[in-house]
Amino acid sequence: MNTDSHTFGPGWRTLAGIALALLALALLIWLDANRLPEQVTVGVGPAAAMRIVALFVGGLGVAHGVLAWGRRVPEVEEGVTPRDVSPVTNPAGLAWILGGLVALGASVHFGGGFVLGATALFVSTARAFGQPLGVRSVGLGFVLTTLVFFFFARVLSLSLPAGPFERLLLA
């Protein structure tokens, strides 16, 4: 069996389908954002935030489309079909991600707050993708989730579940 990178993971048809679904979702988000009233007070309104999300989702759709196109060419040239390649699964990685989601839910439910739970999700997702558990993953996850919390709390004026750390930051 050929071990080139294009033989692992989803085939080009799957990637193309995901790309189309993401682009359609981005279009729906954008159209829905256009129906919201514009913010008249200082700050960014929900319509602007939805447009930013639509751009990110659209970017993911384009990236999937480019990847699908790149995987299509070798299959046609080399005669490799998705049936020739065994699916690559990672049950341990899935368990890490699901554990992170449970940790996020538990943190929010039991008063630990968003930043603590989302940091646990970030670290477990990084571990699922092969990154070792360590100070680097925890620190990066903590900084990113704190920035996300501030974006929602200060820029969008939306409240996320606050634990002791979030209450300290907002005081």
Q: Which amino acid is at 122?
A: F
Identify the domain boundary among 84, 101, 121. 84
Tell whether 96 and 34 lie within a shared domain.
Answer: no
Q: Give the pLDDT of residue 110.
A: 93
User: What was the pLDDT predicted at 24?
Assistant: 94
Q: In angstroms, rounded to a whole number, what is the distance separating the alpha carbons of residues 148 and 154?
A: 10
Please give the average pLDDT of every successive group of 10 residues along the chain, which has 171 residues.
52 87 93 80 71 90 88 59 58 91 93 93 92 90 92 80 85 74
Q: What is the pLDDT of residue 1?
A: 41
Domains held by the chain: number:
2
pTM here is 0.59
Q: Are residues 38 and 60 in the same domain?
A: yes
Are 77 and 98 part of one and the same domain?
Answer: no
Residue 73 shares a structural domain with residue 121: no
107 in the same domain as 70: no
**Domain extent at residue 75:** 5-84
Query: Do residue 14 and residue 79 come from a single domain?
Result: yes
Residue 47: its pLDDT value, please? 78
* Domain end point (choices 30, 55, 84): 84
Are 79 and 9 members of one domain? yes
Q: Is 2 helix (H, G, I), strand (E, B) or coil?
A: coil
Reference 157, options 55, 26, 49; nearest CA is 49
Residues 56, 103 within the same domain:
no
Residues 96 and 72 in one domain: no
* 80 and 95 inside one domain: no
Segment holding 94, helix H or strand E = helix 91-109
Residues 97 and 74 placed together within one structural domain of the fold: no
Q: Are 148 and 118 in contact (CB under 8 A)?
A: yes
pLDDT for 5 equals 47
